[in-house]
Chain A
């Protein structure tokens, strides 16, 4: 079974621009969660999508948004980029999106904002 894939792997943007990141979960998985990882803040939960619906949201500004498609692929968008948005963005998929389900991480998208 193919793992979680994320595209692109690396991105360089300038302040004020917007960016869209993509995540394809493991086949059959219906839940996709997004995390931001930075050296200072560690792994922080952004949001979770299940069956095309946002089910949970972390403590991030409205500039961070996402969506999920009928095939469970998910995208996240960051508008009006700030320097502090530079981070590794990870998505994780799980089958049923339960607290008890194993989440499998993708390789991440490294975003650099200049």
Chain B
């Protein structure tokens, strides 16, 4: 049931773009994206909901393909501050639940 993230790790130069994918074998209702820097708490980036609604940072873009049960996070013109580990958390069902199942994470390193 754990979603699968790809790639596991990526190294970029400043200004380059990256895409991080999150795939589930089960029908998704919501996908939550977080970035975590070493020794810090995960920071909320974006939430994508079944039906197309999105909430999150203006500079971050993402997509949610309900048919493929997949979400992608797009990081464009990367900056050094983008470095960290990105997690997708998946919510199943529209019920009253705060339970999220997280992927294993994608480590992003941006070099000058």
Q: Mark B22-44, 1 if CB is under 8 A from A, else 0.
A: 00000001101010000011111
Check A98 against B44 for contact (C-beta < 8 Å). no
Query: Which of the four size classes fits the interface of chain B?
Result: 20 to 34
How many A-B pairs have beta carbons closer than 8 Å: the answer is: 80
Is B55 within 8 A of A33, CB to CB? Answer: no
Contact-residue size bin, chain A (C-beta under 8 Å from the other chain): 20 to 34
| In contact, B96 and A55 (Cβ under 8 angstroms) | yes
Nearest CB of A to B58, in Å: 15
Interface residues in B65-95 by Cβ distance below 8 A to A read: 87, 89, 91-95
**Alpha-carbon separation in the docked complex, A45 to B98 (Å):** 10
- Is there a chain B Cβ closer than 8 Å to A103's Cβ? yes
Would you call B96 and A50 a contact (CB within 8 A)? Answer: yes
Cβ–Cβ contact B97 & A45, under 8 A: no
A→B interface (CB under 8 Å): 4, 31-33, 35, 42-45, 48, 50, 55-56, 58, 90, 92, 94, 96-108
